[in-house]
Chains A and B, each alone.
Chain A
Amino acid sequence: MKPILLQGHERSITQIKYNREGDLLFSVAKDTVANVWYSVNGERLGTYNGHTGAVWCVDCDWDTKNVLTGSADNSCRLWDCETGKQLALLHTNSAVRTCGFDFSGNIIMFSTDKQMGYQCYLNFFDLRDPQQIDDNQPYLSIPCSDYKITSAVWGPLGEFVIAGHENGEINQFSAKSGEILKKAKEHTKQINDIQTSVDLTMFISASKDNTAKLFDSTSLDHIKTFKTERPVNSAAISPIMDHVVMGGGQEAMEVTTTSTRIGKFEARFFHAAYEEEFGRVKGHFGPINCVAFHPDGKSYSSGGEDGYVRIHYFDPQYFDFELEA
């Protein structure tokens, strides 16, 4: 099936995310715009207007009621998903790099960059306590003095946040006490993206060190490594197959003026257990910044440096494909 092309951004895509049921796809970009689309046909549902700087991150709660975005305009904003109304504006001292709702949808976390004399912080707000929002007072604020957080996701039950750092470290921060529960230093360079499996039991980390790695969410045990020759910008785990998809790691190709409609930058598919690459999908005209699987595993999306989001539905051969074992 031909991919669906979403043209709603004028600058590079920074993150894309499906809601839990997969009918909606959110995209945010450097052009300050946050969009939401119907994933089935690519029709745009709407835009969340308000940010005045590049939007770095987006998340949607499990019930598809609220949307959270973080931006370089030093704010983290809460929105009503359906109406697009801005529900809360939390000012910060530096750019908000990563954000997310916990399993219950009641607690939000976001991290701020180390910038202009301000440290990197991991902040927690309880949405059930309006005072926190009104006073812009997180109930917990964890400073990260050494290497800033570059990507973070919630653990399976809202007890901790799994954060990836500039230097390749991965830490589990308790959402109650703020202490570091577990550490893992498997990557040698910056973590660009962390995404959980659909059941949250494991996550995949994409790193500038040309690899992506699979970890157990609770124990932080390193399970698998997927190697490429270039930095990996984003990785995701298939909900129904033993596959992972990666974006950003591509070999340089001759970009001639004759290649018009199909770009040469590829998303790469690896077998999760064998760690072997088995397929590539071309299409983007620039590096791929973000990939995501649809929760039903029958399609995936990618957002690129070229400002496009592409939704790909898999052919039947994809589900039948097997490596000899």
Chain B
Amino acid sequence: EFVEIPLQNDKQVQTSVSDLLDDILREKPQEADGIDSVVVVDNVPQVGPERLEKLKNVIHKIFSKFGKITTEFYPEADGMTKGYIFLEYAAPTQALEAVKNADGYKLDKQHTFRVNLFTDFDKYMNISDEWETPEKQPFKDFGNMRHWIEDSDCRDQYSVIYEAGERTAIFSNDAKEPITVEERARWTETYVRWSPKGTYLATFHQRGIALWGGEKFKQIQRFSHQGVSLIDFSPCERYVVTFSPLMDTKEDPQAIIIWDILTGQKKRGFHCESSAHWPIFKWSHDGKFFARMTQDTLSIYETPSMGLLDKKSLKISGIKDFSWSPGDNIIAFWVPEDKDIPARVTLMQMPSRQEIRVRNLFNVVDCKLHWQRNGDYLCVKVDRTPKGTQGVVTNFEIFRMREKQVPVDVVEMKESIIAFAWEPNGSKFAVLHGESPRINASFYHVKNNGKIELIKMFDKQQANSIFWSPQGQFMVLAGLRSMNGALAFVDTSDCTMMYIAEHYMASDVEWDPTGRYVVTSVSWWSHKVDNAYWLWTFQGRLLQKNNKDRFCQLLWRPRPPTLLSVDQIKMIKKDLKKYSKIFEQKDRLSQSKASKELVDKRRAMMEDYRRYRETALQIYQEQKSVRLELRGGVDTDELDSNVDDWEEETIEFFINEEIIPIGDL
């Protein structure tokens, strides 16, 4: 059926009625099935008729937050309400909201609501009474998952992505040259990640991620998450969190999923509430808790239940940022100024939620939290605009976590801060401050006597990033990208510059987990030529230049924490001289083996080459007569074959130029 629709410019358009009405038809009220919008609320107080009205008002007030309640039913028996009620909403989505938000609501000491969809009862009722023993899965033996740690020469591994992502390789780091362990084409579609203790290599694919491990890098586990783009491991390697920006439905949150690595099971899904930095969920150091921040809320979950700690989130009005201590189950968070209440940083113990320390801050513009790797110190970088001024100044508020009542010391910085980094296992920190081209590097020591001492400042540095060795003491100050790869190797025990070097256009610096080697690299993702990674010692001695066609990324494989006790480590350090001797001998042997190998190789190459030249020259001699003929009898085989033909000439050489002014003309 067609209608004619007159348009403004008098043109007429024909369209079908159904096209026109489609929009309207879509909004036609559906005859509701009814039961999808019904919720059952349990643990409702049992009341008599005199208090029923009041109860209904309270319930209504609580539950109408989630939608329009169209029907309510309070079953009774013997003059009292039974203790459970039925509420019908205008739409199933509202019923879901009620379940999501009111389940676990504590009305009073004796009554905590349990809210369920009516349809769920049906679902759970229909579960078979018969218990079927789940089928026994055959044991998948992946071999020794820690095989790489047992390398007799203590070589660390690293992954390299090159050929613009087409190839991924794993190398074993030998000072002479990298040893290929594994190399695969299209192993990952974007990039790779190592798990925190180095057990797994994660690769990305359109349909999800895969974990690889063991001596041969077999596939250990697969997690199906369409369009996955980001992942994060729990520090204990029990869980992995995946994120995909693709659609997810309200009923089945799919944006963020937490998986159990060993079983491969999906433990819980979450919506992505707001755009935030990844990882959205932050893990406590022992993997017992994970938390995320949304508007005015801090939600802390516990494992393995994946449920909210104490069944409810923390309401923290205005919360801007939080982070876990890397050493204890303590959360640090800060809130900005609110009318008369100053901004403050709070340290909260988990799971008790006890506030260990609160620090008020005034005229705050912004804060950043920097934990020292063992959780011994927290540095809060505070940008403030002091009253009466326009500019921004920065303070470092240093929290001494190991001291009673967590004293706080303040370091005032006169210039704008470019970078800040704690010594990983020590009590020093480094700061890059100033503005290009006057960038300064300052080193501070947090001393036991309550003072924070400026040990040394280097001025006019070409640096925008700080890279501490994971073992502390040594570090690299790097001017990456726009600063053209300037490198400074520093020993912070006496704050000396050990070596100054350059890796032109370097985009990344990566320390190996032992702190012996540093890799600087030029990634194809940031610069399209000279893609390579260079290997240096911790003192700045260049060992290798490895060019790789369209090199993209290098990541060292992390090591699991040491199995040695503190005492054992002390003993080894005491006997270090003895061990050094053995290692030096081993190194010398391998060096001379290398030079011997090289020398042998060269000798063989020269022999081959000589043999080829002899054969070629023989043929050349045999062809002499042809050559003479071609040049009319003139022998040109040697430059001095025709001495008679030579002429004597005098030539001039340019020696010097002198300009003599003749004076005014």
Contact = CB atoms under 8 A, between A and B. Distances in A.
Interface in B535-549: 547
Interface in B501-531: 502, 504-505, 529-530
B616 interface: yes
Nearest to A21: B639
B267 interface: no
Nearest to A251: B530
B620 A199 contact: yes
A310 to B, nearest CB: 15
A313 B652 CA distance: 17
A201 interface: yes
B606 interface: yes
Given A229-B547, A251-B530, A156 B484 contact: no
A22 B634 CA distance: 17
Q: How large is the interface on B (under 10, 10 to 19, 20 to 34, 35 or more residues)?
A: 35 or more
B630 A201 contact: no
Contacts of B654: 41-42
Contacts of B547: 229
Nearest to B603: A325
B630 A273 contact: no
Nearest to B484: A254
A201 B616 CA distance: 6
Given A41-B651, A103-B627, A157-B627, A218 B602 contact: no
Interface string B602-613: 110110111010
A22 B529 contact: no
Contact of A38 (B484, B620, B626, B651): B651
A316 B147 CA distance: 54
Interface in A38-68: 38, 40-43, 62-63
A135 interface: no
Contacts of B637: 199
Contacts of B532: 229
A324 B605 CA distance: 13
A225 to B, nearest CB: 12
B531 to A, nearest CB: 9
Given A156-B623, A199-B620, A325 B651 contact: no
A223 interface: yes
Interface in A288-325: 295-296, 323-325
B619 interface: yes
A38 to B, nearest CB: 7
A199 B618 CA distance: 12
B599 interface: yes
A104 interface: yes
Nearest to B629: A104
Contact of B609 (A105, A201, A242): A242
A43 B654 CA distance: 9
Contacts of B602: 273-274, 323-325
Contacts of A62: 631, 636
B221 to A, nearest CB: 39
B651 A43 contact: yes
Interface string B566-578: 0000000000000
A189 interface: no
A116 interface: no
A38 B654 CA distance: 13
A36 B612 CA distance: 36
A36 to B, nearest CB: 15
Contact of A104 (B595, B599, B630): B630
Given A22-B639, A216-B612, A252 B505 contact: yes
Nearest to A102: B630
A84 interface: no
B506 to A, nearest CB: 12
A202 interface: yes
B617 interface: yes
A229 B550 CA distance: 11
A218 B530 CA distance: 36
A201 B631 contact: no
B219 to A, nearest CB: 33
Nearest to A325: B602
Given A218-B619, A252-B504, A325-B599, A158 B605 contact: no
Contacts of B505: 252
A252 B529 CA distance: 8
Contacts of A103: 627, 630-631
B278 interface: no
A117 B631 CA distance: 40
A262 interface: no
A150 B505 CA distance: 33
A201 to B, nearest CB: 4
B639 A157 contact: no
A22 B484 CA distance: 43
Nearest to B532: A229
Nearest to A323: B602
A229 B530 contact: yes
B653 interface: yes
Interface in A208-237: 216, 218, 223-224, 229-230
Contacts of A275: 605
Contacts of B603: 325
A218 B619 CA distance: 10
Of the listed residues B484, B502, B605, B631, the one surrounded by the most CB atoms of chain A closer than 10 A to its CB is: B605
A272 interface: yes
A157 B605 contact: no
B639 A296 contact: yes
A38 B530 CA distance: 38
Interface string A162-183: 0000000000000000000000
Given A103-B631, A104-B631, A41 B653 contact: yes
A218 B651 CA distance: 40
Nearest to B615: A216
Nearest to B522: A252
B530 A223 contact: no
Nearest first, the 9 A-B pairs at minimum CB distance are A273-B609, A104-B630, A325-B602, A201-B616, A273-B606, A229-B547, A41-B653, A274-B602, A103-B630
Given A103-B630, A202-B616, A254-B484, 9 more contacts: A41-B654, A63-B631, A157-B627, A158-B630, A223-B609, A229-B530, A272-B609, A273-B609, A296-B639
Interface of B: 484, 502, 504-505, 529-530, 532, 547, 595, 598-599, 602-603, 605-606, 608-610, 612, 616-617, 619-620, 623, 626-627, 630-631, 634, 636-637, 639, 651-654
6 contacts: A156-B623, A202-B616, A216-B616, A223-B612, A242-B609, A324-B602
